[in-house]
Amino acid sequence: MIKVLHLITHKNSKKIAVTALYRPPSTNANAFVEDLEVFLKKSSKHVDMHFLTGDININILEHSETSQNYLNLLSEHNFISTINNFTRVDLTSKTCIDHMFVKGKTINFCQLIPIIYQNSISDHFSIILKVILDEKPSSSTPTYIQKIEESKLVAYVLNEDWSAVYGSSNVNEATDKFASTIQSHIEKSTIKIKLTDRKRKCWITNGLLRSINHKNELFQQMLNNPNEQTIKKFKDYRNKLGDLIKQRKADYYNNFIVTNSNNSKSLWKCVKDVSCVSTRDKNIERIITKNQVEVNDKKIIAQEFANYFNNVGKRLAENIAPTTSFVSNKKLKNSIFLEETNEEEVLLTILDLKDTVASSLESIYGNYYDKNP
């Protein structure tokens, strides 16, 4: 008997459905897929997000008809798998039979953090999915930091009339006057710098962020007190963190590619992210032609580019040394090349035909050509 727990909740004006399933291994898997299809048609219509999880006892890493029907059904209903590694390992098998699928137009992959916790609580590993549902405020108060412009401060100090400080007979009054003057110059030399919100990369976790900040602290300690111990401590931590970042980044993008294998748009975004390609428009305002003429007209610029790229092949061909023969022993598949022939070669080919084998669709045997030259 299949067990189902289905609940509806709300968060940030979104309607969220959570479905937990358990299919005993003794039940018919194909019948389960058919029943699941009926259930999804009813339950996923009027919700903003739908999380489907449970011990399904169908190995989605196995290329079987049942697993493919199961995955095709969920894909048809726009569900994405977030658990794509082994969840049950024993001496004879490794399977992914505990699943976590997500559906929702407003869900960003960066907001999902799937975890497979390998423990001995049961014969299955625990699966966890961290979901960030809090919406970012549409507008926020900008953050500023204060910075003292040293050149301005030095100029104020050098141009200050310090006679009131030097001429005072009371040391307390002279100290107060000096302190207030310096404070005034500091305030006049201080500027506010607006901090821009830098979007954190999806693969950077809070733990990595803390480690990066700690690395920066070790770097500052090394600068303040450069010795063999601080230098070694910083370099060791930096190298270990670098390896950890590379591994985390590789794991994230591998998981992303597997999850979005049927989504070409997401895959291209992934390629741009990995290759650090900017999506901002780059307008060319002017060019210098080969005749050293500056051009600002967009139509002429476009024509210059067209002329250049249209002649790339021609220019490359001109640089290739001419040859009169081509000899290669390499066999090329899916290719055919016919050399010139003559009457003597045709005659030799005919004489080489076997008498008892037809060489054409008309069933003409080789001995026919011998009798009818």
| pLDDT per position as a tens digit, 279-338 | 555 677 888 888 888 888 888 888 888 888 888 888 888 888 776 655 556 666 666 767
What is the phi/psi pair of residue 20, to 5°? Answer: -110, 130
CB 129 within 8 A of CB 135: no
End-to-end CA separation in angstroms for the chain: 84
Question: What is the pLDDT averaged over residues 144-162?
Answer: 86
Query: Rounded to whole angstroms, how far apart are CA atoms 295 and 304?
Result: 10
Highest mean pLDDT among 10-19, 132-141, 178-187, 266-275: 178-187
Query: Would you place residue 363 in the very low, low, confident or very high pLDDT band (cuts 50, 70, 90)?
Result: low
Q: Do 81 and 259 meet the contact criterion of CB atoms below 8 Å apart?
A: yes
Distant-in-sequence, close-in-space partners of 55: CB < 8 Å, separation ≥ 6: 21, 22, 23, 97, 98, 124
The residue that leads in pLDDT, 46 or 62, is 62
Summarised one tens digit per residue, pLDDT across range 41-51 is 888 778 888 99
Q: Give yes or no for residue 137 having a pLDDT over 50.
A: no
212-229 core/surface letters (b: 16 or more CB in 10 A; e: else): eeebeebeeebeeeeeee
All CATH 3.60.10.10 domain ranges in the chain, comma separated: 3-131
| Whole-angstrom distance, CA of residue 56 vs CA of residue 50 | 17
* 54-63, 72-81, 272-281, range with greatest mean pLDDT: 54-63
Q: Which residue has the higher pLDDT, 135 or 76?
A: 76
Q: What whole-number distance in Å separates Cα of residue 24 and Cα of residue 54?
A: 11
Give the pLDDT band (50/70/90) at residue 60: very high
Class level of CATH domain 3-131:
alpha beta
- Residue located via tokens 């070790």: 218
What mean pLDDT value characterizes the chain?
A: 82
What is the pTM (predicted TM-score) of this model?
0.40
- Average pLDDT (54-67) is 92
pLDDT at res. 334:
67
Cβ neighbourhood burial of 151 (10 Å; 0-12, 13-18, 19+): exposed
Structure tokens at 13: 């004006």
